[in-house]
Protein backbone atom coordinates (compact mmCIF):
# COMPACT_ATOMS: atom_id res chain seq x y z
CA UNK A 1 0.00 0.00 0.00
CA UNK A 2 2.92 2.34 0.71
CA UNK A 3 4.14 2.26 -2.91
CA UNK A 4 0.84 2.78 -4.76
CA UNK A 5 1.78 6.38 -5.48
CA UNK A 6 4.63 5.10 -7.67
CA UNK A 7 2.10 3.74 -10.14
CA UNK A 8 0.30 7.06 -10.62
CA UNK A 9 3.39 9.30 -10.72
CA UNK A 10 4.01 11.66 -13.64
CA UNK A 11 6.77 9.43 -15.07
CA UNK A 12 4.44 6.44 -15.57
CA UNK A 13 3.46 6.11 -19.26
CA UNK A 14 -0.04 5.07 -20.23
CA UNK A 15 1.62 2.65 -22.63
CA UNK A 16 5.30 1.70 -22.49
CA UNK A 17 7.17 0.99 -25.75
CA UNK A 18 7.07 -2.77 -25.14
CA UNK A 19 3.33 -2.86 -24.42
CA UNK A 20 0.77 -4.09 -26.94
CA UNK A 21 -2.90 -3.07 -26.70
CA UNK A 22 -5.08 -5.77 -25.17
CA UNK A 23 -8.78 -5.70 -25.95
CA UNK A 24 -11.16 -6.26 -23.07
CA UNK A 25 -13.45 -9.27 -23.16
CA UNK A 26 -16.90 -8.14 -24.29
CA UNK A 27 -19.36 -8.80 -21.46
CA UNK A 28 -21.67 -11.67 -22.30
CA UNK A 29 -24.21 -10.58 -19.71
CA UNK A 30 -25.11 -7.61 -17.55
CA UNK A 31 -23.70 -7.29 -14.06
CA UNK A 32 -26.29 -8.66 -11.60
CA UNK A 33 -27.77 -6.25 -9.08
CA UNK A 34 -27.34 -6.44 -5.30
CA UNK A 35 -24.18 -8.52 -5.23
CA UNK A 36 -22.51 -9.03 -1.83
CA UNK A 37 -19.56 -6.77 -1.06
CA UNK A 38 -18.31 -3.57 -2.64
CA UNK A 39 -17.45 -4.68 -6.16
CA UNK A 40 -14.02 -3.47 -7.25
CA UNK A 41 -13.80 -1.41 -4.04
CA UNK A 42 -13.73 -4.54 -1.86
CA UNK A 43 -9.94 -4.80 -1.92
CA UNK A 44 -6.87 -3.01 -3.21
CA UNK A 45 -5.45 -5.62 -5.53
CA UNK A 46 -3.15 -6.58 -8.38
CA UNK A 47 -5.29 -8.55 -10.80
CA UNK A 48 -4.64 -10.74 -13.86
CA UNK A 49 -6.51 -13.21 -16.04
CA UNK A 50 -5.22 -15.76 -18.50
CA UNK A 51 -7.67 -14.87 -21.29
CA UNK A 52 -7.40 -11.09 -20.95
CA UNK A 53 -3.79 -10.00 -21.17
CA UNK A 54 -4.19 -6.75 -19.28
CA UNK A 55 -2.74 -6.57 -15.78
CA UNK A 56 -4.72 -4.18 -13.57
CA UNK A 57 -3.89 -2.40 -10.33
CA UNK A 58 -7.10 -1.55 -8.49
CA UNK A 59 -7.51 0.91 -5.61
CA UNK A 60 -10.64 2.50 -4.15
CA UNK A 61 -12.74 0.72 -6.75
CA UNK A 62 -10.85 2.12 -9.73
CA UNK A 63 -8.21 0.76 -12.09
CA UNK A 64 -5.30 3.13 -11.46
CA UNK A 65 -2.66 1.37 -13.60
CA UNK A 66 -2.53 -1.24 -16.34
CA UNK A 67 0.06 -3.22 -18.25
CA UNK A 68 -0.97 -4.68 -21.58
CA UNK A 69 0.73 -7.50 -23.46
CA UNK A 70 -1.37 -7.98 -26.59
CA UNK A 71 -2.68 -11.22 -28.03
CA UNK A 72 -1.68 -14.63 -26.78
CA UNK A 73 -1.71 -16.59 -23.54
CA UNK A 74 -1.50 -16.28 -20.55
CA UNK A 75 -1.02 -14.45 -17.23
CA UNK A 76 -1.08 -17.01 -14.40
CA UNK A 77 0.92 -15.57 -11.51
CA UNK A 78 1.67 -12.03 -10.34
CA UNK A 79 3.31 -10.29 -7.38
CA UNK A 80 3.92 -6.73 -6.29
CA UNK A 81 7.10 -6.69 -4.22
CA UNK A 82 7.30 -4.23 -1.33
CA UNK A 83 9.60 -1.89 -3.31
CA UNK A 84 6.91 -1.62 -6.02
CA UNK A 85 8.52 -3.92 -8.57
CA UNK A 86 6.19 -6.42 -10.22
CA UNK A 87 7.04 -10.04 -10.93
CA UNK A 88 4.78 -11.94 -13.31
CA UNK A 89 4.52 -14.90 -15.65
CA UNK A 90 3.17 -14.59 -19.19
CA UNK A 91 3.51 -18.30 -20.16
CA UNK A 92 6.15 -17.53 -22.81
CA UNK A 93 8.26 -15.48 -20.40
CA UNK A 94 8.76 -14.45 -16.80
CA UNK A 95 9.70 -10.84 -16.03
CA UNK A 96 10.28 -8.19 -13.39
CA UNK A 97 9.39 -4.56 -14.05
CA UNK A 98 9.17 -1.26 -12.20
CA UNK A 99 5.99 0.74 -11.55
CA UNK A 100 6.91 2.99 -14.50
CA UNK A 101 7.06 -0.13 -16.71
CA UNK A 102 10.81 -0.49 -17.16
CA UNK A 103 11.69 -4.16 -17.59
CA UNK A 104 14.49 -5.01 -15.14
CA UNK A 105 14.83 -8.67 -16.04
CA UNK A 106 13.17 -11.12 -18.40
CA UNK A 107 13.59 -14.75 -19.44
CA UNK A 108 11.94 -15.91 -22.67
CA UNK A 109 11.00 -19.44 -23.72
CA UNK A 110 10.42 -21.11 -27.08
CA UNK A 111 6.73 -21.19 -28.01
CA UNK A 112 7.00 -24.09 -30.49
CA UNK A 113 9.29 -26.91 -31.51
CA UNK A 114 11.33 -29.40 -29.49
CA UNK A 115 12.50 -26.69 -27.06
CA UNK A 116 8.94 -25.53 -26.34
CA UNK A 117 8.69 -24.42 -22.71
CA UNK A 118 6.23 -22.46 -20.58
CA UNK A 119 6.25 -20.69 -17.23
CA UNK A 120 3.11 -20.41 -15.10
CA UNK A 121 4.41 -19.93 -11.54
CA UNK A 122 6.69 -17.41 -9.86
CA UNK A 123 7.45 -15.94 -6.43
CA UNK A 124 9.75 -13.23 -5.03
CA UNK A 125 12.29 -14.45 -2.48
CA UNK A 126 13.60 -11.26 -0.89
CA UNK A 127 13.94 -8.06 -2.90
CA UNK A 128 16.45 -9.39 -5.43
CA UNK A 129 15.68 -13.08 -5.94
CA UNK A 130 12.82 -14.86 -7.67
CA UNK A 131 11.62 -18.43 -7.98
CA UNK A 132 9.89 -19.83 -11.06
CA UNK A 133 9.01 -23.21 -12.53
CA UNK A 134 9.44 -24.06 -16.22
CA UNK A 135 7.22 -26.62 -17.96
CA UNK A 136 9.31 -28.45 -20.58
CA UNK A 137 10.42 -31.88 -21.74
CA UNK A 138 12.79 -31.63 -18.79
CA UNK A 139 10.93 -29.34 -16.37
CA UNK A 140 13.06 -27.06 -14.22
CA UNK A 141 12.91 -25.22 -10.91
CA UNK A 142 14.85 -21.95 -10.75
CA UNK A 143 15.88 -19.37 -8.20
CA UNK A 144 17.51 -16.37 -9.90
CA UNK A 145 19.01 -13.15 -8.60
CA UNK A 146 17.43 -10.83 -11.15
CA UNK A 147 19.71 -7.90 -10.24
CA UNK A 148 22.92 -9.80 -10.92
CA UNK A 149 21.45 -12.25 -13.43
CA UNK A 150 22.99 -15.16 -11.52
CA UNK A 151 21.10 -18.46 -11.50
CA UNK A 152 21.40 -19.60 -7.88
CA UNK A 153 19.29 -22.77 -8.14
CA UNK A 154 18.56 -24.78 -11.29
CA UNK A 155 17.14 -28.23 -10.66
CA UNK A 156 15.28 -30.78 -12.75
CA UNK A 157 11.82 -31.44 -11.32
CA UNK A 158 11.10 -35.15 -10.90
CA UNK A 159 8.84 -36.01 -13.79
CA UNK A 160 7.78 -39.29 -15.40
CA UNK A 161 4.84 -38.73 -17.71
CA UNK A 162 4.28 -37.29 -21.19
CA UNK A 163 0.57 -37.76 -21.83
CA UNK A 164 -0.47 -34.11 -21.36
CA UNK A 165 2.49 -32.47 -22.97
CA UNK A 166 4.27 -29.36 -21.75
CA UNK A 167 1.23 -27.16 -21.15
CA UNK A 168 -0.46 -29.46 -18.65
CA UNK A 169 2.49 -30.20 -16.40
CA UNK A 170 2.54 -27.65 -13.57
CA UNK A 171 0.73 -24.54 -12.40
CA UNK A 172 1.13 -22.85 -9.01
CA UNK A 173 4.38 -23.41 -7.12
CA UNK A 174 5.59 -21.84 -3.88
CA UNK A 175 8.63 -21.70 -1.64
CA UNK A 176 7.34 -22.19 1.90
CA UNK A 177 8.37 -20.41 5.08
CA UNK A 178 10.39 -23.53 5.95
CA UNK A 179 12.34 -23.28 2.67
CA UNK A 180 10.69 -26.29 1.04
CA UNK A 181 9.20 -26.29 -2.46
CA UNK A 182 5.46 -26.91 -2.95
CA UNK A 183 4.54 -27.72 -6.56
CA UNK A 184 1.16 -28.48 -8.15
CA UNK A 185 1.48 -31.31 -10.70
CA UNK A 186 -1.73 -30.31 -12.48
CA UNK A 187 -1.55 -33.02 -15.14
CA UNK A 188 -0.37 -35.74 -12.78
CA UNK A 189 -3.05 -35.17 -10.17
CA UNK A 190 -0.95 -34.48 -7.11
CA UNK A 191 0.66 -31.77 -5.02
CA UNK A 192 4.24 -32.52 -4.00
CA UNK A 193 6.48 -30.89 -1.41
CA UNK A 194 10.24 -31.23 -1.90
CA UNK A 195 13.14 -30.35 0.33
CA UNK A 196 16.05 -28.31 -1.05
CA UNK A 197 17.64 -31.45 -2.49
CA UNK A 198 14.38 -32.24 -4.30
CA UNK A 199 13.64 -35.22 -2.10
CA UNK A 200 9.88 -35.69 -1.80
CA UNK A 201 8.78 -35.10 1.80
CA UNK A 202 4.99 -34.80 1.42
CA UNK A 203 2.33 -35.24 -1.24
CA UNK A 204 -1.41 -35.14 -1.68
CA UNK A 205 -3.39 -36.76 -4.49
CA UNK A 206 -6.30 -34.89 -6.12
CA UNK A 207 -7.54 -35.02 -9.74
CA UNK A 208 -6.37 -31.65 -11.11
CA UNK A 209 -4.63 -29.33 -8.65
CA UNK A 210 -4.22 -25.88 -10.18
CA UNK A 211 -2.94 -24.17 -7.04
CA UNK A 212 -1.54 -25.11 -3.65
CA UNK A 213 -0.26 -22.77 -0.96
CA UNK A 214 1.19 -23.43 2.47
CA UNK A 215 -0.72 -21.51 5.12
CA UNK A 216 0.76 -19.87 8.19
CA UNK A 217 -0.83 -22.58 10.35
CA UNK A 218 1.16 -25.25 8.50
CA UNK A 219 -1.79 -26.62 6.54
CA UNK A 220 -2.01 -26.64 2.75
CA UNK A 221 -4.80 -24.94 0.79
CA UNK A 222 -5.43 -26.61 -2.57
CA UNK A 223 -7.69 -25.63 -5.47
CA UNK A 224 -8.69 -28.52 -7.72
CA UNK A 225 -9.93 -27.21 -11.07
CA UNK A 226 -11.62 -30.42 -12.16
CA UNK A 227 -13.57 -30.79 -8.92
CA UNK A 228 -14.37 -27.06 -8.59
CA UNK A 229 -13.32 -27.15 -4.95
CA UNK A 230 -10.79 -25.62 -2.58
CA UNK A 231 -9.84 -27.52 0.55
CA UNK A 232 -7.45 -27.23 3.49
CA UNK A 233 -5.48 -30.31 4.56
CA UNK A 234 -3.02 -30.87 7.39
CA UNK A 235 0.25 -32.80 7.31
CA UNK A 236 -1.65 -36.01 8.06
CA UNK A 237 -3.81 -35.32 4.96
CA UNK A 238 -6.99 -34.78 6.97
CA UNK A 239 -9.38 -32.34 5.28
CA UNK A 240 -10.12 -29.59 7.82
CA UNK A 241 -12.13 -27.25 5.58
CA UNK A 242 -13.45 -27.36 2.05
CA UNK A 243 -15.64 -25.36 -0.28
CA UNK A 244 -17.12 -26.77 -3.46
CA UNK A 245 -18.03 -23.97 -5.86
CA UNK A 246 -20.65 -26.14 -7.57
CA UNK A 247 -22.53 -27.25 -4.47
CA UNK A 248 -21.71 -24.64 -1.79
CA UNK A 249 -22.33 -21.48 -3.81
CA UNK A 250 -25.88 -20.12 -4.11
CA UNK A 251 -27.21 -20.53 -7.65
CA UNK A 252 -27.18 -16.78 -8.35
CA UNK A 253 -23.42 -16.57 -7.69
CA UNK A 254 -22.29 -19.61 -9.66
CA UNK A 255 -19.00 -19.43 -11.57
CA UNK A 256 -19.18 -20.04 -15.32
CA UNK A 257 -15.74 -21.66 -15.24
CA UNK A 258 -14.01 -23.62 -12.51
CA UNK A 259 -11.92 -21.72 -9.96
CA UNK A 260 -8.17 -21.89 -10.55
CA UNK A 261 -6.41 -20.17 -7.65
CA UNK A 262 -7.17 -19.39 -4.03
CA UNK A 263 -6.11 -16.69 -1.60
CA UNK A 264 -6.45 -16.92 2.18
CA UNK A 265 -6.84 -13.55 3.87
CA UNK A 266 -5.61 -12.64 7.35
CA UNK A 267 -9.20 -12.60 8.65
CA UNK A 268 -9.63 -16.24 7.61
CA UNK A 269 -11.73 -15.55 4.52
CA UNK A 270 -10.89 -17.30 1.25
CA UNK A 271 -11.03 -15.80 -2.26
CA UNK A 272 -11.60 -18.01 -5.31
CA UNK A 273 -10.73 -16.78 -8.79
CA UNK A 274 -12.23 -17.74 -12.15
CA UNK A 275 -11.47 -16.99 -15.78
CA UNK A 276 -15.21 -17.01 -16.49
CA UNK A 277 -16.62 -17.96 -19.84
CA UNK A 278 -16.67 -15.38 -22.64
CA UNK A 279 -17.61 -12.53 -20.32
CA UNK A 280 -20.03 -14.58 -18.24
CA UNK A 281 -20.09 -15.44 -14.58
CA UNK A 282 -18.29 -13.94 -11.58
CA UNK A 283 -14.53 -13.40 -11.64
CA UNK A 284 -13.92 -13.60 -7.89
CA UNK A 285 -15.82 -14.73 -4.82
CA UNK A 286 -14.87 -14.34 -1.15
CA UNK A 287 -16.31 -16.57 1.57
CA UNK A 288 -15.93 -16.81 5.33
CA UNK A 289 -14.83 -19.89 7.25
CA UNK A 290 -18.49 -20.81 7.70
CA UNK A 291 -19.03 -20.51 3.93
CA UNK A 292 -20.94 -17.25 3.91
CA UNK A 293 -20.47 -15.31 0.66
CA UNK A 294 -19.29 -11.78 1.50
CA UNK A 295 -18.04 -10.60 -1.91
CA UNK A 296 -18.87 -11.36 -5.51
CA UNK A 297 -16.93 -9.56 -8.25
CA UNK A 298 -18.85 -9.66 -11.53
CA UNK A 299 -17.65 -6.71 -13.59
CA UNK A 300 -16.55 -7.50 -17.14
CA UNK A 301 -16.75 -3.89 -18.25
CA UNK A 302 -13.85 -2.79 -16.04
CA UNK A 303 -11.61 -5.85 -15.71
CA UNK A 304 -11.17 -9.14 -17.51
CA UNK A 305 -11.12 -12.67 -16.22
CA UNK A 306 -9.55 -13.33 -12.84
CA UNK A 307 -7.01 -16.11 -12.84
CA UNK A 308 -4.88 -14.68 -10.03
CA UNK A 309 -5.01 -11.85 -7.53
CA UNK A 310 -2.68 -10.36 -4.92
CA UNK A 311 -4.69 -8.57 -2.23
CA UNK A 312 -2.55 -5.58 -1.29
CA UNK A 313 -4.50 -4.34 1.73
CA UNK A 314 -3.84 -7.61 3.59
CA UNK A 315 -0.87 -7.61 6.01
CA UNK A 316 2.43 -9.34 5.25
CA UNK A 317 5.63 -8.76 3.30
CA UNK A 318 5.19 -10.40 -0.12
CA UNK A 319 8.83 -11.35 -0.64
CA UNK A 320 9.07 -13.23 2.67
CA UNK A 321 7.87 -16.78 1.90
CA UNK A 322 4.81 -17.73 3.90
CA UNK A 323 3.61 -14.22 4.67
CA UNK A 324 1.41 -13.75 1.61
CA UNK A 325 -1.04 -16.62 1.28
CA UNK A 326 -1.77 -16.37 -2.44
pLDDT at 161: 61
Mean pLDDT of 222-233: 98
pLDDT at 71: 85
What's the pLDDT tens digit per position in 270-304? 999 999 998 999 999 999 999 999 999 999 999 99
pLDDT at 159: 84
CA contacts within 13 A on the Cβ side of 268: 6
What's the pLDDT tens digit per position in 113-166? 889 999 999 999 999 999 999 999 999 999 999 999 999 999 999 887 655 589
Mean pLDDT of 78-107: 97
pLDDT at 295: 98
Rounded to whole angstroms, the Cα distance separating 110 from 94 reads 12
Rounded to whole angstroms, the Cα distance separating 107 from 262 reads 26
Average pLDDT over all residues of the chain: 95
- pLDDT above 70 covers what percent of the chain? 99
Mean pLDDT of 16-30: 91
Contacts for 156 with CB less than 8 Å, ≥ 6 apart: 138, 139, 140, 141, 198
Length of the chain: 326
pLDDT at 162: 56
Rounded to whole angstroms, the Cα distance separating 6 from 57 reads 12
pLDDT at 165: 82
pLDDT at 164: 57
In this structure, are residues 159 and 140 in contact, taking their beta carbons and an 8 Å threshold? Answer: no
**In the predicted structure, residue 92 carries a pLDDT above the cut 80:** yes
pLDDT at 241: 98
Amino acid sequence: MDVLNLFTAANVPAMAPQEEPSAMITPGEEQPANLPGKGLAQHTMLYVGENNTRMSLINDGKVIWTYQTGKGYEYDDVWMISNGNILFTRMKYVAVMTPDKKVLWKMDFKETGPEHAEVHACQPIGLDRIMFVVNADTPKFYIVNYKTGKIEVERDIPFNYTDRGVHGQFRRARVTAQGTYLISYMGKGKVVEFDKDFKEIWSYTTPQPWAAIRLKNGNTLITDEREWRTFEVNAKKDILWEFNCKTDLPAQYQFASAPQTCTRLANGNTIFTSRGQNGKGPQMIEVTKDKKVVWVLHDWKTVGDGTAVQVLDDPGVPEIPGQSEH
